Structure 1
């Protein structure tokens, strides 16, 4: 495994070996999910509930993974929305509100740094794949509309792995599909729980810190910290 670099430090090629494959998380790492708050407000719910809902959605997916079970992202999302919005005064029916939020995933766009960052990373000769806890179709559309689908070798979902990240089997599924050993792959994500899970599965890890936040000390320190995908490309150059 590469030598660890503390968040905020610049890595050098001597300290972190360039991976053969970069495995990108999708939700929030590539996609800008902030517009979902507007969707909540459009039917009368507070926008901040979008953040609470997504955090709860992940929690429940993780809880299933701990017991070796899995459910599709869409099912957990829809049912948890019904529970969350059940006590909220809405301007539309509950079914319509749930459908409106879930449809929002089909209209999300990537963060501004993603198109140029993906092209820069592909230009280094690194193979690029995605691994999402969500549906592969969402990632396909997201990348295609950003004009970088052709730069990504495979669009993978944990639905085929049978368990959500950060369970080790989810990362193992991606490694198997790419025919690489863990030490030759690096997970790229904005979520510390995801970079930690990848590190514990033997992969390298890159934390994308667009907001300047602090990395939790109870997780495995990522190999790299980058402010954007372009910054990550520069560090791996």
Structure 2
């Protein structure tokens, strides 16, 4: 299966590009089990989605701090500002998955304009992209501050299209999160599922236009412009 060539490739950041695994050690250093990272991330997304549905918004970091404070308290650990900062500051020190750099370089060479769109803060990932030598490949690094609606709300994808000056039907979103793929497709984009973990795609969501193992596989599947 190969993908039709859009003008713009929109990339999710957390987990799709960045490897969150090193954060497990920070949770353990705070006194929590390493797998608390997964619960924390899911709960942070849940609360961000809930605010969006209710017509409100809050920053990823603020929501994440509240969720972490609740986890620490439930474990009988004092949720001090220092402990919370020590855990969450790890987001500024993450690295990319190994397939990202070669994959994105090949996708760029195929003529795709590449942008990132995250529910987190775009500034948190700047060092990660700089260290990987990818900043020059990213036309825009966007977050949901301006639309004030988290993905998968349509407003987030419309914002990316407006910044890029192109139609939603000329864009594709690549992500490891089915909810992001579903939201993008409902907004009018192609949805490309990065399935590193070989996880069955939920049947309740709109099916992706393309399923690939990683970004190198994606570059193999995209038709030249």
Q: TM-score, normalised by structure 1?
A: 0.91
User: Which secondary structure does the structure 1 equivalent of 2:74 belong to?
Assistant: coil
Q: Distance in 1 between matches of 2:29 and 2:197?
A: 26
> How far 1:93 sits from its partner (Å)?
5.9
CA contact (8 A) 2:73 2:79 kept: no
Match of 1:78 in 2: 65
How many residues are matched?
A: 223
Q: Distance in 1 between matches of 2:173 and 2:219?
A: 14
Q: Distance in 1 between matches of 2:182 and 2:30?
A: 37
Match of 1:33 in 2: 20
Q: Distance in 2 between matches of 1:210 and 1:66?
A: 29
Match of 1:172 in 2: 158
- In the alignment, structure 1 segments of 5+ residues that lack a partner are 1-9
User: Which secondary structure does the structure 2 equivalent of 1:153 belong to?
Assistant: strand
Select which of 68, 80, 84 maps to 1:98. 84
Q: Distance in 1 between matches of 2:53 and 2:181?
A: 17
User: Which secondary structure does the structure 2 equivalent of 1:34 belong to?
Assistant: coil
Moved over 3 A (4+): none
Supply the RMSD in Å over aligned alpha carbons.
1.2
Select which of 96, 103, 120 maps to 1:134. 120
Q: TM-score, normalised by structure 2?
A: 0.96
CA contact (8 A) 1:127 1:153 kept: yes
Match of 1:158 in 2: 144
Q: Distance in 1 between matches of 2:87 and 2:119?
A: 18
> How far 1:89 sits from its partner (Å)?
3.9
- In the alignment, structure 2 segments of 5+ residues that lack a partner are none
